């Protein structure tokens, strides 16, 4: 058995960022830029009015000044022509201001009578957004994270209509077991519903991958081989179940026969011990345990970082700190990832693990906000101690 840290290093070392592809800006959400982009223009491209009101020249900005209103500038319609001293330009938010020192007086701050305005008081802020105040042409943008809707807004403003992003990894999901039927089917008396395919497909999509859910493989070498052959073309073959030491746990054997170069099998963690990883032809393979919580924990600890790496990101999960909500006994030789709930605390949030930590219990998993990380051989802990966790 290797440590979780060593296993993650080995998983990440297997993968390289996938080649870039070009997508329209509208399809950029959640994608990762493959190279820096540069603003194609300056924003704002001119000094722009930030209020509806009157633009006045700097020398006319005196309390009580009376100015003649001449002309108009609106968003998309610059004022053409001269504006003599002692004149104010009617202006609306977003309009270009005249190219000389001045300010915009909000219309609420003047008294207007006919074509004249009287400045009520000495103006405060100039209410002008200066040219380039947001960004200048050529400004680089290269966030090392999946693009958010806010990023898409910025990229649009930069006049970037298409993006070079890393290709999304295609993940073939293979679940195994004679006991499994799909949701909606009627299980036999000795059968259960396949939950892992759905849990894992969700984890793949959330991490920016494309999930390809293959049919359930039965517990025979022929069935497993047949389903694995359908995974061709995937960047990652993600199996669940059949990873342990039972007579019907065939994944390691069949994968080896079809060419798996295994990097490791078995990690000192709970749940998730029988995890395996390696190279399978042009693809990678991650063999998760069948217990649903073990599969879920391995997805958070290894699958998500691997998919991030495929998309050019560093990928290591970021942990946080909390105060323990209860006393806990010492741990054994495996790091223990306990399903837990966060509540507000004083300096740090309070993290309380659920009493039930069965690696098949999906209800507690669904209710958890966090995985409390108990390192291997962690001594007994008291309520109030600082503990590390992985937010879910």
Ligand X SMILES: Nc1nc2c(c(=O)[nH]1)N[C@H]1C(S)=C(S)[C@@H](COP(=O)(O)OP(=O)(O)OC[C@H]3O[C@@H](n4cnc5c(N)ncnc54)[C@H](O)[C@@H]3O)O[C@H]1N2
Site of interaction with ligand MOO (CB under 6 A): 270-273, 289, 291, 294, 359
The residue at minimum Cβ distance from ligand X is 290
Tokens (6 digits) for 297: 């924990």
3-class state of residue 75 by DSSP: coil
Nearer to ligand MOO, 166 or 334 (CB): 334
**Within 13 Å and on the Cβ side, how many CA atoms surround 53?**
23
Give the footprint of ligand X on residues 287-346 (CB under 6 A): 289-292, 294
> Is 271 among the residues that bind ligand X (CB under 6 A)?
yes
Nearer to ligand X, 19 or 245 (CB): 245
Min dist. Cβ of residue 324 to ligand X (A): 25
Min dist. Cβ of residue 264 to ligand X (A): 15
3-class state of residue 277 by DSSP: strand
Min dist. Cβ of residue 360 to ligand MOO (A): 8
The region of 57-65, 84-92, 152-160, 195-203 touching ligand X under the rule CB under 6 A is 195-203
Nearer to ligand X, 120 or 192 (CB): 192
Q: How far apart are CA 208 and CA 188, in angstroms?
A: 36
Judged by beta carbon distances under 5 to 8 A according to partner kind, the member of ligand X, ligand MOO, none in contact with residue 208 is none
User: Is the Cβ–Cβ distance between 1 and 276 less than 8 Å?
Assistant: no
Min dist. Cβ of residue 286 to ligand MOO (A): 15
Q: How far apart are CA 379 and CA 200, in angstroms?
A: 33
Judged by beta carbon distances under 5 to 8 A according to partner kind, the member of ligand X, ligand MOO, none in contact with residue 177 is ligand X
Peptide bond connecting 271 to the previous residue in cis, omega within 30 degrees of 0: yes
Q: Which of 169, 242, 252, 349 binds ligand X (CB under 6 A)?
A: 242
Min dist. Cβ of residue 185 to ligand MOO (A): 26
Buried residues in 10-43 as b, exposed as e (16+ CB within 10 A) = bbbebbebbebeeeebeebebbbbbeebebeebb
Q: How far apart are CA 350 and CA 323, in angstroms?
A: 5
Min dist. Cβ of residue 248 to ligand MOO (A): 16
The region of 56-64, 270-278, 316-324, 347-355 touching ligand X under the rule CB under 6 A is 270-278
Query: Could you give the string, one character per residue 119-158, with x where binding to ligand X holds by CB under 6 A and - elsewhere?
Result: ----------------------------------------
Cβ contacts of residue 330 below 8 Å, gap of 6+?
Answer: 377, 378, 379, 380
Buried residues in 215-224 as b, exposed as e (16+ CB within 10 A) = ebbbbeeebb
> Is 274 among the residues that bind ligand X (CB under 6 A)?
yes
Name the nearest CA neighbour of 9 among 365, 243, 301, 285: 301
Handedness of CA 240, 243, 248, 251 (dihedral sign): positive
Q: How far apart are CA 297 and CA 275, in angstroms?
A: 11
Q: Which of 19, 64, 81, 245 binds ligand X (CB under 6 A)?
A: 245
Nearer to ligand MOO, 197 or 240 (CB): 240
Using CB under 6 A as the criterion, which residues of the chain lie in contact with ligand X when the complex forms?
175, 177, 179-180, 192, 194-197, 240-246, 249, 271, 273-274, 289-292, 294, 359-360
């Amino acid at each position: 058995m290797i440590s979780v840290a060593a296993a993650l290093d080995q998983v990440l070392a297997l993968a390289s960022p996938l080649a870039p592809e070009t997508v329209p800006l509208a399809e950029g959400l959640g994608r990762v830029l493959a190279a820096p982009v540069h603003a194609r223009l300056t924003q704002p491209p001119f000094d722009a009015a930030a209020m509806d009101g009157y633009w006045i020249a700097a020398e006319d900005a005196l309390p009580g000044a009376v100015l003649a209103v001449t002309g108009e500038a609106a968003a998309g319609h610059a004022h053409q022509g001269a504006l003599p001293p002692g004149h104010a330009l009617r202006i609306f938010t977003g309009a270009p201001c005249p190219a000389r020192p001045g300010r915009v007086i909000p219309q609420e701050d003047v008294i207007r009578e006919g074509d004249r305005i009287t400045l009520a008081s000495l103006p405060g802020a100039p209410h002008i957004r200066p040219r380039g105040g947001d960004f200048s042409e050529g400004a680089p943008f290269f966030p090392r994270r999946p693009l958010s809707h806010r990023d898409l807004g910025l990229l649009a403003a930069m006049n970037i209509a298409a993006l070079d992003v890393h290709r999304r990894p295609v993940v073939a999901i293979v679940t195994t077991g004679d006991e499994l039927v799909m949701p909606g089917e009627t299980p036999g008396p000795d059968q259960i519903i396949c939950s892992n395919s759905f849990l894992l497909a969700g984890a793949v999509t959330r991490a920016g991958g494309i999930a390809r859910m293959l049919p359930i493989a039965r517990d025979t070498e022929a069935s497993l081989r047949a389903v694995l052959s359908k995974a061709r073309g995937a960047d990652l073959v993600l199996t669940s179940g059949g990873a342990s030491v039972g007579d019907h746990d065939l994944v390691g054997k069949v994968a080896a026969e079809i060419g798996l170069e295994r990097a490791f099998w078995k990690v000192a963690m709970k749940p998730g011990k029988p995890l395996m990883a390696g190279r399978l032809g042009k693809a990678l393979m991650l063999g998760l345990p069948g217990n649903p919580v073990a599969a879920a924990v391995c997805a958070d600890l290894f699958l998500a970082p691997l998919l991030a790496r495929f998309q050019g990101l560093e990928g290591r999960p970021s942990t946080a700190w909390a105060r323990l909500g209860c006393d806990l006994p010492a741990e054994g030789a495996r790091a223990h990832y306990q399903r837990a709930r966060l509540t507000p605390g004083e300096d740090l949030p309070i993290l309380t693990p659920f009493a039930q930590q069965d690696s098949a219990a999906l209800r507690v998993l669904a209710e958890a906000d966090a995985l409390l990380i108990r390192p291997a051989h962690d001594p007994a802990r008291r309520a109030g101690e600082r503990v590390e966790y992985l937010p879910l």
